[in-house]
């Protein structure tokens, strides 16, 4: 029976895509960037929903004929409709989300109990279909907000109902997405231990529209970026020329060089100054100083910092339980442990490092 299903999938794939299209490398990279932008926001929302760190990444972008659809069965799917878009082609603003039943049951179990229970069968019940919608809905809304910022125009997503998918090629034909369908294979990792996979079927017309919109935005912003870079380079060159001119400017006349002489102070003058300095010191004891508590530091490349998104974790150079640094007036003053006092954070000082440089 399994062999029969595989043969039927293969025949349907060949029938659906006799003329296999190919996205160029630039189009594939652009589409992957768009999807990763949306999925990063979706993963952040999923992390909040499940209470477990989640990560989603686009593994590959292929055609329906190039993917082994039987490995994703049995499955369920949800139709995603992109609204408020000026699209002439039918279904050009629609995407179809497909996930294996076994992964759906694990995700819903995490949502309900916090644990991914071992599933003995792949049959979905009503609670699993409704749970899938409950999980996917906030993910797609977060993705829509991210795409709104990416495309600089409103993007809204409307979810359909979750439904069983008996065969992916048959479903693609029923959706009338056209002969050429882009398939994005994505990987979902929850809590670094639970690995899942899902597919997104995208009509070619909608794929082209997304890519063309993204490339046009890049073309519009490229002159501004180049102008900003040129401006920075010009300022840098002007600063170098100014510094060089100042350094090379000759000094009129001869330089007068005198031996350094120390001023002599008698004992009475020294006592007077000591008493006067003590009085001045007392005057500044009431000056407030800023206290900063530093739990750790790290260094990252500029490109890594620009890639940071909500939900990402930045690892510091200190281990859990290490004392934190207490900095006063920019100088390391003490070390201590973090405590909680009436719902506020505090620090219990465990070691005074130095108080000599506070007023320096």
Residue by residue, DSSP assigns 264-303 as P--HHHHHHHHHHHHHHHHHHTT----EEEE-------HH
- Residues forming CATH 2.30.330.10 domain(s) in the chain: 290-360
Please tell me the predicted confidence (pLDDT) of residue 178.
74
d(CA 83, CA 136): 17
CA distances from 127 to 52, 105, 112, 162, 259 (A): 21, 9, 10, 11, 93
Please tell me the predicted confidence (pLDDT) of residue 128.
93
Give the pLDDT band of residue 5 (cuts 50, 70, 90). Answer: very low
- Residues forming CATH 3.40.1550.10 domain(s) in the chain: 2-218
Please tell me the predicted confidence (pLDDT) of residue 126.
93
Give the pLDDT band of residue 2 (cuts 50, 70, 90). Answer: very low
Give the pLDDT band of residue 229 (cuts 50, 70, 90). Answer: low
CATH architecture of 2-218: 3-Layer(aba) Sandwich (3.40)
- Range with the poorest average pLDDT among 76-90, 158-172, 316-330: 76-90
* Across 67-88, average pLDDT: 81
d(CA 199, CA 96): 8
Query: Which of 140, 168, 161, 175 has its CA nearest to residue 75?
Result: 168
d(CA 255, CA 234): 36
Please tell me the predicted confidence (pLDDT) of residue 144.
92
Verify cis geometry, omega within 30 degrees of 0, for the bond prior to 58: no
Please tell me the predicted confidence (pLDDT) of residue 16.
43
| pTM of structure | 0.57
* Across 237-254, average pLDDT: 55
Q: Is the pLDDT of residue 259 over 80?
A: no
* Across 200-217, average pLDDT: 90
Please tell me the predicted confidence (pLDDT) of residue 358.
57
Q: Are 278 and 313 in contact (CB under 8 A)?
A: no
Please tell me the predicted confidence (pLDDT) of residue 256.
52
Q: Which CATH class is domain 290-360?
A: mainly beta
Please tell me the predicted confidence (pLDDT) of residue 228.
54
Give the pLDDT band of residue 145 (cuts 50, 70, 90). Answer: very high
What DSSP character marks residue 129?
A: H
């Amino acid at each position: 029976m399994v062999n029969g299903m595989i043969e039927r999938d293969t025949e349907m794939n060949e029938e659906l895509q006799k003329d296999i299209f190919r996205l160029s490398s630039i189009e594939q990279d652009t589409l992957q960037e768009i999807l990763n932008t949306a999925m990063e926001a979706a993963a952040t929302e999923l992390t909040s929903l499940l209470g477990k760190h989640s990560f989603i990444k686009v593994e590959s972008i292929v055609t329906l004929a190039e993917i082994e659809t039987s490995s994703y069965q049995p499955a369920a799917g949800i139709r995603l409709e992109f609204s408020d878009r000026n699209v002439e082609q039918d279904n050009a603003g629609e995407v179809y989300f497909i996930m294996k039943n076994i992964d759906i049951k694990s995700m819903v179990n995490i949502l309900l109990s916090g644990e991914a229970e071992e599933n003995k069968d792949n049959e979905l019940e009503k609670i699993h279909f409704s749970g899938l919608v409950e999980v996917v809905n906030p993910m797609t809304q977060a993705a829509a907000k991210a795409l709104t910022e990416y495309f600089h125009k409103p993007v809204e997503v409307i979810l359909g109902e979750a439904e069983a998918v008996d065969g992916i090629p048959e479903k693609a034909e029923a959706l009338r997405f056209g002969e050429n369908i882009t398939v994005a294979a994505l990987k979902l990792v929850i809590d670094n231990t639970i690995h899942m996979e899902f597919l997104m079927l995208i009509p070619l017309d909608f794929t082209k529209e997304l890519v063309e919109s993204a490339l046009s935005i890049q073309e519009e912003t490229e002159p501004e970026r180049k102008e900003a870079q040129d401006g920075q380079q010009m300022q840098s060159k002007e600063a170098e020329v100014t510094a060089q001119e100042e350094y090379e400017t000759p000094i009129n006349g001869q330089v007068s060089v005198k031996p350094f002489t120390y001023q002599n102070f008698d004992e009475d003058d020294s006592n007077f100054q000591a008493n006067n300095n003590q009085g001045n010191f007392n005057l500044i004891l009431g000056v407030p100083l800023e206290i900063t508590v530093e739990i750790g530091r790290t260094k990252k490349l500029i490109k890594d910092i620009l890639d940071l998104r909500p939900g990402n974790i930045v690892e510091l150079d200190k281990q859990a339980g290490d004392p934190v640094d207490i900095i006063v007036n920019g100088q390391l003053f003490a070390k201590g442990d973090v405590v909680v006092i009436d719902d506020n954070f505090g620090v219990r000082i465990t070691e005074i490092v130095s108080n000599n440089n506070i007023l320096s």
